[in-house]
Amino acid sequence: MKFLHLADLHLGKTLGDFDLKDDQRYILQQILEIAETKQVDAVLIAGDVFDKTVPSEGAVQILDEFICELVERHLQVYMISGNHDSDERLNFGSSLFEANDVHIAAKYQGKLFHHVIEDAYGAVHIYQLPFVKASQVKRAFPEAKIETYEDAVREVLAHAEINQKQRNILVAHQFVSGKGKDPTLGGSEGALTQHVGTVEKIGYDCFDAFRYVALGHIHSSQSVGREEVRYAGSPLKYSLSEAGPVKQIPGGVRERDGAKQVPIVTVDGEGQVTIELEKLVPLRDLIHIRGTFTEIVKEENQIEHTEDFVYVTLTDEDIVPDAMRIMRQYYPNTIKLDYDNSHTRELSHVDVVQATQSRSYEELIGDFYKQMYGAQISEEEMDMMKDVAKEVGIYEAD
């Protein structure tokens, strides 16, 4: 039995001010081609299908197109909700989908979702666990002692009465840790997971009854604890931190660094698992370039794919006037422009809370101006800053 493992599609997401619907359609079409080439039997989608709990019309349309293409190819689909998804919206039409072998598990209701499919060697058991919190499972089993997410997941699995001798597959969306080691964050999920405590973490050994665990939630493709417990990762780069290693200019920028992958999982008749990672090539990659403004715009230093999303770090000591507008003439999809120089490095070492206590607005603005421009702010410029601050209600004259 052969599976294609997806997760964290985040349909409807934007990157800066840029809409990603064309990029998402492009990568999903590529995934369909991989599924056909690799002759997979089923597709596992491990949550965060949408980027928002109230998805846009465009995001719903992209999912509809993708699911219809999977059905036309006679592929079975096992999809669960993630923490970004609305249970009710993802579950809409699930009864109709079921007739076409599209199995959606959007809301945990006291029982692990379970389906059985057959191959030449017999039954393969597919279990689906949508994103759950400890409080949700506690409501289903009020007598159980559930304090952590791991307690909750263990309780859910215990009530499923899983036969470990069978070929069992689980699709889940949780924060799973390995042997004393957390998974590597892929970027845009970091705000939700970088401060995760022990209450939210789930040890990979919870899943010993499963031959393969198809995880979602972390955007970097990686295994956790053992090879068969794996995050698929997001199919596109959704964060500036995923732009890959910064390349100094001059010296060139390595194109399309840090490629995304999609796992193709084969389970043989004995339950042995093999995993192939198929590279995904985006319509527009996310590139981080670094150097002085003059160096970056030199013709010999310009990157090949000018339509890629670009994150620029300027190392100039002085602010370059209108730098973003000019940069977008070279790279129209420039998302962000920042500086790394002696001024910004000095600011980064300042304890902001401590530095602002007992200091006047004028002192703070004057210090900031001096850090950025190396000169004293003029009276006219200070008056303008005061007027702006009054407008937004953060400054009152003595």
Listed by start position, the domains of the chain span 2-280, 286-343, 350-391
pLDDT at 104 over 60: yes
Question: Which of 169-173, 177-181, 255-259 holds the top average pLDDT?
Answer: 169-173
- The three-state secondary structure class of 153 is helix
Confidence of residue 252 (pLDDT cuts 50, 70, 90): very low
Do residues 307 and 332 make contact, with C-beta atoms less than 8 angstroms apart? yes
Average pLDDT over residues 360-381: 78
Task: Assign 3-state DSSP to the chain and report helix, strand, coil percentages, each to 5.
Answer: 30, 25, 45
pLDDT of residue 260: 92
pLDDT of residue 249: 62
pLDDT at 262 over 50: yes
Average pLDDT over residues 145-165: 91
pLDDT of residue 246: 54
Do residues 73 and 32 make contact, with C-beta atoms less than 8 angstroms apart? yes
Query: Which of 253-267, 278-292, 304-318 has the weakest average pLDDT?
Result: 253-267
pLDDT at 42 over 80: yes
pLDDT at 227 over 70: yes
Q: Is the dihedral angle over the CA atoms 129, 2, 272, 118 positive or is it negative?
A: positive
DSSP labels for 10-49?
Answer: -BT-EETTEE-HHHHHHHHHHHHHHHHHTT-SEEEEES--
Joined tokens for residue 230: 């794996």
Confidence of residue 344 (pLDDT cuts 50, 70, 90): confident
Mean of pLDDT over the chain = 85
Percent of all residues in the chain with a pLDDT value above 90, rounded to a whole number: 54
Query: Which of 60-69, 209-218, 344-353 has the weakest average pLDDT?
Result: 344-353
CA dist 163 and 125 (Å) reads 10
Confidence of residue 26 (pLDDT cuts 50, 70, 90): very high
- The three-state secondary structure class of 257 is coil
pLDDT of residue 197: 47
Average pLDDT over residues 49-59: 90
Average pLDDT over residues 142-157: 91
Of residues 267 and 361, the one with the higher pLDDT is: 267
pLDDT at 184 over 80: no
The CATH fold assigned to 2-280 is Purple Acid Phosphatase; chain A, domain 2 (3.60.21)
Question: Which of 51-60, 135-144, 241-250, 260-269 holds the top average pLDDT?
Answer: 260-269
pLDDT of residue 351: 58
Buried b (16+ CB within 10 A) or exposed e, 314-331: bbbeeeeeebeeebeeeb
pLDDT at 202 over 70: yes
CA dist 24 and 30 (Å) reads 10
pLDDT at 255 over 70: no
pLDDT at 13 over 90: yes
